[in-house]
């Protein structure tokens, strides 16, 4: 695991945008895995600026998103399909047919999950997967106690996640209780991983992910055994890592 500590949210976003831009420049037909949530927002905004300035192009790449709320249509402003369109897809030159998000309206969930895995495989696998991390240690919607063997599947959201995500809804009751998410196995098969965390409220979770026991209790801890994972945090989210490094030195 590589640890990079950025100064603040802006610096973290700039660094993340440059990593993704670099990937697109070096390999225009790359397959990206992207995430939703508050953390990558500024990174996406910076990428749209780079695309406007023709510094990067998404024209040949494919993008697979981590997850989607179950029962929300992509037209619903709370859905992740809508989020991605609003913040990235409609603002860069990506072809709509090259953007993939699990279908939250699928009637046959098992079939939808298998089809999503097949699409990723047929695209050649994910080159670079961007991740956020929940305060409970989730990546995608892989909540504590997840199976490390799971591929894309239907998950029940943790109370902590429902609370955290209620910031995007009018009331807590409106937050869907289930979602379709790439599994830990899907994420671990990505050739590269870039996890972003910002803010002091993530500091303890980040510490457990990096230095804690590898355990389904902290799903992100599995990244310790990924051969090419980078954890990019700002100083606030990395404060416990820095305490640890100071102790070792």
Active site residues: 67, 136, 138, 143
- Pick the closest to residue 39 from 4, 66, 68, 13 (CA basis): 13
- Residue 111 CB, shortest distance to ligand PGA, in Å, is 26
Spatial separation of the C-alpha atoms in residues 95 and 31, rounded to whole Å? 13
- State how far the Cα of 122 lies from the Cα of 188, in Å rounded to an integer: 17
Upper half-sphere CA count for residue 51 (Cβ side, 13 Å): 21
Question: Is residue 39 a contact residue for ligand PGA (CB under 6 A)?
Answer: yes
Q: How far, in Å, CA of 207 to CA of 78, rounded? A: 30
Question: Closest CB to ligand PGA among 86 and 111?
Answer: 86
Is the Cβ of residue 40 or residue 192 nearer to ligand PGA in the bound state?
40
For residue 3, the minimal CB distance to ligand PGA (Å) is: 18
Alpha-helical (H) ranges within 62-158 are: 80-87, 109-122
Nearer to ligand PGA, 43 or 51 (CB): 43
Residues 119-178 within binding reach of ligand PGA (CB under 6 A): 132-134
Among 1, 3, 25, 38, binds ligand PGA (CB under 6 A): 38
**Which residue number, 12 or 113, has a Cβ lying nearer to ligand PGA?**
12
Q: How far is the CB of 249 from ligand PGA (least distance, A)?
A: 30
Phi, psi of 69 (to 5 degrees): -60, 140
* Residues of this chain that bind ligand PGA (CB under 6 A): 37-39, 132-134
């Amino acid at each position: 695991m590589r640890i990079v500590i950025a100064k603040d949210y802006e610096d973290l976003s700039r660094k993340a945008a440059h990593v993704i831009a670099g990937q697109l420049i070096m390999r225009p037909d790359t397959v990206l895995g992207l995430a939703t949530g508050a953390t990558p927002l500024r990174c996406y905004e910076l990428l749209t600026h780079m695309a406007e300035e023709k510094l990067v192009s998404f024209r040949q790449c494919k993008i697979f998103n981590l997850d989607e709320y179950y029962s929300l249509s992509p037209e619903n402003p709370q859905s992740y399909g809508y989020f991605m369109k609003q913040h990235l897809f409609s603002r860069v030159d990506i072809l709509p047919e090259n953007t993939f998000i699990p279908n939250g309206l699928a009637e046959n969930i098992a079939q939808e999950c298998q089809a999503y895995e097949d699409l990723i495989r047929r695209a050649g696998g994910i080159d670079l997967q961007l991740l956020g991390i929940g305060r409970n240690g989730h990546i995608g919607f892989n909540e504590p106690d997840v199976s490390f063997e799971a591929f894309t599947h239907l998950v029940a959201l943790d109370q902590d996640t429902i609370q955290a995500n209620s910031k995007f809804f009018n009331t807590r009751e409106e937050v869907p209780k289930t979602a379709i998410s790439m599994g830990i196995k899907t994420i671990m098969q990505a050739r590269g991983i870039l996890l972003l965390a910002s803010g002091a409220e993530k500091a303890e979770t980040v510490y457990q992910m990096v230095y804690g026991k590898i355990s389904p209790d902290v799903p992100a801890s599995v990244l310790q055994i990924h051969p090419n994972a980078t954890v990019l945090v700002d100083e606030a989210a990395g404060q416990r890592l820095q305490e640890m490094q100071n102790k070792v030195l």
